[in-house]
Chain A
Amino acid sequence: MARTKGYPEPLEKKLRDTRLYEEDTNPQFTKTVEKISMTIPHMCYQCGTCTASCPSAPRSSYRIRKFVRRALLGLEEEALTDPDLWLCTTCYSCTDRCPRDIAPTDVIMAMRNLAAKRDIVPVNFLKTVQAIYTTGHGVPNNDVNRAARKKLGLNPEPPTTHGFPKYVKGIQYILDYFGLKQRADKIIKEREG
């Protein structure tokens, strides 16, 4: 362990070369993101309206403006390997307000697609896939919910795949068709053994 001078992070990490080099940029990445997202991150003038609108930003290190900048510069590795990519709530506030009429939300969605193609997806997202596969719900019903529903005079199971479990098959068919479940299983196994 290197000297930390009392800082929590190791010193060599602090001192590593963080310059932006030409090799870090991939113009093709900008084009691919624009094609998938059908929006124009190359027109961003870095005003910050998106980050200021973002409900995730004040609670995390996620900065939508930075991702739009990465799209503009073609910083593929940096964008796709940053776990913050998965902190967008897709609320579309940034898209509503961007003065350059860019849809930053769709930039994020495009990057997530590209990251997923390379199996770079956080495990919790993959577990959601598994939950959908088995129950038809990303967040399945639970006892607390059931009790609350009963109290409100509702059927404890909502009229979804919970109420009609036979339709889970349909959802499974779709997920199988795209190989999503198998993919999620594989990656989780690799990561968690």
Chain B
Amino acid sequence: MAEKKTRKEPAAKKDTKKPVSKATPAPAATSPDKELGKGARIGVYICHCGTNIAGSVDILAVQEYAKTLPNVAHVDNYQYMCSTPGQKKIEEGIKEHKLTGIVVAACSPRLHEPTFRTATKTGGLNPFRFEMANIREQGSWVHMHDREGATAKAKDAIRIAVAKAALLQDLVPKSVPVTKAALVVGAGVAGMQAALDLANAGIKTYLVEKSPTIGGRMSQLDKTFPTLDCSQCILTPKMVDVGRNPNIELMTYSEIEEVEGYIGNFDVTIRKKARGVLTPAEAEARGIVGGGCNGCGDCDTVCPVIKPNPFEMGMKPRKAIYIYHPQVVPLIYTVDFDSCVKCGLCVEACGEKKAIDLEMKDEFVKVKVGTAILALGYDIFPIEKKDEWGYQKFENVVTSLEFERLICASGPTGGHLVRPSDGKTPKKVAFLLCAGSRDNTGVGKPYCSRFCCMYSLKHAHQIIEKIPGCQPYIFYMDIRSFGKMYEEFYYRIQDEGAKFIRGRVSNILEDPETKNLYVMADDTLLDRPMKLEVDMVVLAAAVQPSADTDRTRKLFGVSCSLDGWLLEAHPKLNPCGTTTAGVFLAGVCQGPKDIPDTVASAEGAASAASIPIHMGEVELEPYFAQCIEEKCAGCGMCVNLCPYQALSLVEKEGRKVMQVTEAKCKGCGTCGGFCPGGAIWMQHFATPQIVAQIDAFLLGGEQ
């Protein structure tokens, strides 16, 4: 920092940490801007954040110290820098003191960098002339009981920030056009709602679903709490809408294979798994006029292979060529090639429609979208892992999702709840809440699965309604009836006669003769252990992210929390966004949610995802690499190193030099750190800027 030596304030020297050696002058030649840092006048603003910072940092001492730093032209402090008067200070300071750069020492840049950049801009400077010193999250909060240490650390942070601020350049964000199309992955109620909202807002939407039909878990449910409307009845109209909406391109039995690009311009490769059956459109494309699957089911009748139907939780058979249930959308059969014996009977039965192609291969489709929504939903936790409840050991222990199918009129038993062991109607049914949820043993899940209390109340109601004299027992720890009309629903079910026992079930035993079950629990309110003989047990099993969630989220660069649910950008203020710009979350994949919350989150995600599309362009942070052409030897090594394919070699004035496609560059710095000739300039994180920060830290900035 040769420039620094020309600073105006011959700063007082009192920092004992300062070693003897001087900062090595930065190789100014690496700067594309030879004037970098000349005549820098930095304004430093220290925030109290109420007592958040001022409580453990000596603000005045830090202010006095900041005045001694090179290039610092003005120092001030304020209660809340992010408030309007706080921002005004910056704007006025720039004019009054002819500042060239701003440092705010406050919270994390994730919180208020945009705020202060705007203030810097309003004051008349380029917004990238701003640098933040984090003295809260990394200072006062972690050193809450060490005032001296926190104060010293705040001084360090400011010294480092000032060193960089002195070398900041004007940068102009790049605007890129946004493709007017969106992608929704997963077509449960969340994905369907998001796709419908986007489509109805005039946006072309690709809806990709891994299973052969849309609808997700909600289509497996019988009724829905607290209103008890029939799940299929309220869902099928939406399914039909999705199937018919001209703006929705539905791709079932498909998965995301690859994602490239960035907000506004994602290139997505979708794998259309070989379904073995052609839609009428696909048939027509192959020249089979009037052909393709019309859902007649003639193939199903002749297929000799029988497999369990996963939609019915394996309690009903399907053939190797199948649909999940009669209301599927789209109504197209699917061949399960893992079990198909290629006998060809179905092809014959299908006849002139020529819908079946037993040699079909996976296909890859590329689409371009501006934004994407993940709505990947959930799976049931494998509750057999908690072996004390005997799931899969005792026939009459079922999960709640199995119960939904057993009580559903379109289910395997036509809606007659029966015991799996003998087909008899149960008279006493125990419901075990928090089965595998709220479990810190490492076997189950530490979180509350959030909808099991309510659906178990619903289940109790259903058996009281359907089976006269049948007694439901609900074993619970807490009844979490937090939603609108939920507590009232709890009241109603208790009034209908469900018995609530406050105790978690320790274990279940089976009578080998009758297959009846003994439920062992502590009636904690009575303080007495109990042993209750019942005909059937329903486990309100925990939920977990669906199987393919981890692979899919990584393709989009989306993080997950410790428990595997996808991580929102902010749990309160940005629950639908992610840390990848342009990628949003809807429904249970972000964390357990009932249907009302799922739909609300889907509408939120759709709204957020439509904003960039409606704006038509987005600004990218100008943190891309730049080639300093006079230094580039044209070796091309960086081209292969870039993980985002942003670099290429081009001919210029008779020699080869590297060129950056700015929109593709994510500013990761891989190339910049590598280039042997120092020919790559990482905007906003340039070598002299970083060296200045390191020097300021190690050598002190007051020399």
Q: Given A47-B504, A97-B506, does the pair A53, B520 have CB atoms closer than 8 Å? A: yes
Interface footprint category on A: 20 to 34
The answer to whether B622 has its CB under 8 Å from any CB of chain A is no
Chain A residues closer than 8 Å to B503, beta-carbon distance: 47-49, 52
Shortest Cβ distance from residue A140 to the other chain B in the assembled complex, whole angstroms: 34
> Taking the complex as formed, is B442 at the interface, i.e. its CB lies under 8 A from any CB of chain A?
yes
Residue from the list A43, A46, A48 in contact with B521, Cβ < 8 A:
A48
The answer to the question of A165 belonging to the interface, with a C-beta cut-off of 8 Å to chain B, is no
A73 → B minimal CB distance (Å): 16
Q: Which residues of B contact A47 (CB under 8 A)?
A: 477, 503-504, 522, 524
Determine the distance from Cα of A53 to Cα of B388 in the docked complex, in whole angstroms: 10
Nearest B-chain residue to A65, judged by Cβ: B522
Tell me the smallest distance from the CB of B278 to a CB of chain A, in Å.
51
In the complex, chain B residues whose CB is within 8 Å of the CB of A52:
503-507, 520-522, 529-530
Interface residues of A in 72-113 (CB under 8 A from B): 93, 97-101
Query: CA of A47 to CA of B523 in the docked complex: distance in angstroms?
Result: 9
Q: Within A37-66, which residues are at the interface with B (CB < 8 Å)? A: 43, 45-54, 57-58, 63, 65-66
Q: Is the CB of B522 within 8 A of A99?
A: no
Does B514 belong to the interface (CB within 8 Å)? no
Interface of A is mostly: helix
Question: Once bound together, how far apart are the Cα atoms of A21 and B520, in whole Å?
Answer: 33
- Quick check: A46 and B441 within 8 Å, CB to CB? no
B530: chain A residues within 8 A (beta carbon): 52
> What residue in chain A is nearest B478 (Cβ atoms)?
A45
Q: What is the bound-complex CA distance between A53 and B507, given in angstroms?
A: 7
Give every chain A residue within 8 A of B439 (Cβ-Cβ): 99
Cross-chain contact B440 with A46 (CB below 8 angstroms): no
For A99, what are the chain B residues with a Cβ–Cβ distance below 8 Å?
434, 438-441, 444, 504
Task: Please provide the chain B residues from 501 to 530 with a CB less than 8 Å away from any CB of chain A in the complex.
Answer: 502-507, 520-524, 527, 529-530
A101 touches B529 (CB 8 A): no
User: Chain A contacts of B504 at CB under 8 A?
Assistant: 47-49, 52, 99
B470 nearest CB across to chain A (Å): 24
For the complex, give the distance between the alpha carbons of A48 and B434 in Å: 13
Query: How many Å lie between the Cα of A66 and that of B477 in the bound state?
Result: 16
Candidates A46, A49, A65, A101; contact of B442 at CB < 8 Å: A101
CA distance A66 to B527 in the complex (A): 9
Docked complex Cα distance between A93 and B506 (Å): 9
Q: Which of A43, A45, A51 contacts B522 (CB 8 A)?
A: A51
A63 with B527, Cβ < 8 A, contacts A52-B505, A99-B504 known: yes
In whole angstroms, what is the CA distance A53 to B505 when docked?
9
For the A-B complex with A52-B507, A57-B529, A93-B506 known, give 8 more contacts whose Cβ atoms are closer than 8 Å.
A47-B524, A52-B522, A52-B529, A53-B520, A54-B529, A57-B522, A63-B527, A99-B440
Residues of B within 8 A of A (CB): 388, 434, 438-442, 444, 477, 502-507, 520-524, 527, 529-531
Q: List 7 A-B contacts (CB under 8 A).
A: A45-B438, A50-B522, A51-B522, A52-B520, A99-B439, A99-B441, A99-B504
> Chain A interface (Cβ within 8 Å of chain B)?
43, 45-54, 57-58, 63, 65-66, 93, 97-101
